[in-house]
Structure 1
Amino acid sequence: MSQSTAASRYAKALFQLAQEKQLLTEVSSDLREVKVVFEENKGVFQLLDSPKLEDKEKKELVSKVFASVQPIIVNAIKVLIDKKRIHEVVSVIEEFIRFANDTQGVADAIVYTTQPLTEDETQRISTAFARKVGKNTLNITNEIDPSLIGGVRLQIGNQIFDSSISHKLAGLKRTLIG
């Protein structure tokens, strides 16, 4: 989560604009993809943060790279470039997603399993655990972790629900050994 007050302000402004234009779902979805681009392609971030490029060139690059996302996202990134706050882009996105999730009754969850989840399993986990954390639904990311041996481990924010075999074996070991 962002520690920056500025990131929170930019995220709130973008969130309010998305709500006004009734594009909250679309903007949230696109921002998740934009976040992946910035996190996985450090070159894009470094290029946009480089003092060697003029702001005009940076904005043109943003327009080309993010041509398929909602225009208000492109404009928000351009504002961050103008304000010399492009280094805050990931924090702004995280704050926006937090605002959107709170409004829509959604929580992000990571489900660790030994094998990929089916759509049915994903839906059942979302339904069962969303109620436990007071949400309507969960946005589930499935991570494969062979060390679990079997079962699942679910992380929603700072809560962890662990019904994996490795966790149960560790508990049994603690009980037997003391």
Structure 2
Amino acid sequence: MSSATRQSNAAARERLEALTDNASVDVTALAADLLAVTGVLDHEVTLRRILTDPATEGQRKADLIGSLFGGKIGADAQDLLSGMVRSRWSAPRDLVDGIEQLAAYAEIIGADRAGALDEVEDELFRFGRVVAGSNELRSALTDTAAGNAAKAELVQRLLGGKAKPATTQLVASLVTQPRGRSLEGGLEDFSRLAAARRGRVVALVTVAVPLSDAQKDRLAAALARLAGRPVHLNIDVDPAVLGGVRVQIGDEIIEGTIANRMDGARQGLVS
């Protein structure tokens, strides 16, 4: 991600957070409006080029947003979009990615307001593990021949009433508008956004048996000292690791499983 795009995304997120400090703002409706605009711009190549053209005055681009979407989306969404098109973007596609990310972040803010953000993080992780373990389910949710309505209905059957509304909406948005992402990759992106809301990072912890609450607390504290900020644990139980712990934070991997040590020993004997 280029510096210009990174700065524009950060500015948009700050505006969203300032806006949603007002409890009267309907974040669910706001997220839906932003997601709808994402769908439009995703298919309109010429339009997104116009909206990101650095040679065009920012106010003219904001006026175009008003003429295209005024009366079709809420005033809050229109104001956010107007600010985004005034910003600089390294590529037209970056604007669409930024709007989509803002829609997801609005859902996450709504979950945080409701005191449900920890549950949403856990539900996204668990759903990703369910999908990874079922080729049939993954195919049904990513089938390009299936209509969006059918895939959204499947998500509703799977999660409706069982998961938090934000979780259900985030998964539904991902399967209906994948935009070239894998299902697992999109879920991981949402998890990172949720963690960022709390100023923390996500650690994927793989163990042979479930950890006790005390073990989780000790591990989270140790990883927080290592990472320099709070850590949210996503715990995957895999008997194949035999024992020990494997931790992944971003691209960094801390490998301490018995299975890995046995592999290393075998390789040493072979060499």
The reply to whether TM is greater than 0.5 is: yes
- Other-structure match for 2:57: none
Larger radius of gyration: 2
Matched, 1:36 2:129: yes
Over 3 Å counting, the alpha-carbon distance change for 1:9 and 1:93 in structure 2 is farther
Residue in 2 aligned with 1:120? 214
Q: Any residues of structure 2 matched to 1:42-57 within 5 Å, and which? A: 42-50=135-143, 53-57=146-150
Give unpaired runs (5+ residues) of structure 1: none
The answer as to 2:156 corresponding to 1:63 is yes
1:100 to 1:52, Cα distance in 2 relative to 1, 3 A: closer
Tell me the distance in 2 between the aligned counterparts of 1:88 and 1:153.
24
Q: 1:114 to 1:97 in 2, by over 3 A?
A: closer
Secondary structure of 2:228's counterpart equals: coil
Q: Deviations over 1:57-108 (max 9, x none)?
A: 3332221112212233333444445546486433222111112222324333
| RMSD of Structure 2 on Structure 1 (CA) | 3.7
**Contact between 1:62 and 1:78, CA under 8 Å: does it hold in 2?**
yes
TM-score by length of 1: 0.65
Structure 2 unaligned segments of length 5 or more: list them: 1-92
Deviation of 1:135 after TM superposition, in Å, equals 1.8
The aligned counterpart of 2:18 is: none
Aligned length: 164
Cα distance, 1:19 vs structure 2: 0.3
Name the % identity: 22
Q: 1:85 to 1:104 in 2, by over 3 A?
A: same
Match of 2:24 in 1: none
Pairing partner for 1:18 from 108, 132, 135: 108
Of the two structures, which has the highest relative contact order with CA contacts closer than 8 Å and spacing of 6 or more? 1
Letter in 2 for 1:96: F
**250, 257, 262: which is aligned to 1:157?**
250
Q: CA 1:60 to 1:138, structure 2 compared with 1: closer, same or farther past 3 Å? A: closer
User: Separation in 2 of the partners of 1:139 and 1:24?
Assistant: 14
CA distance in 2, matches of 1:27, 1:48: 20
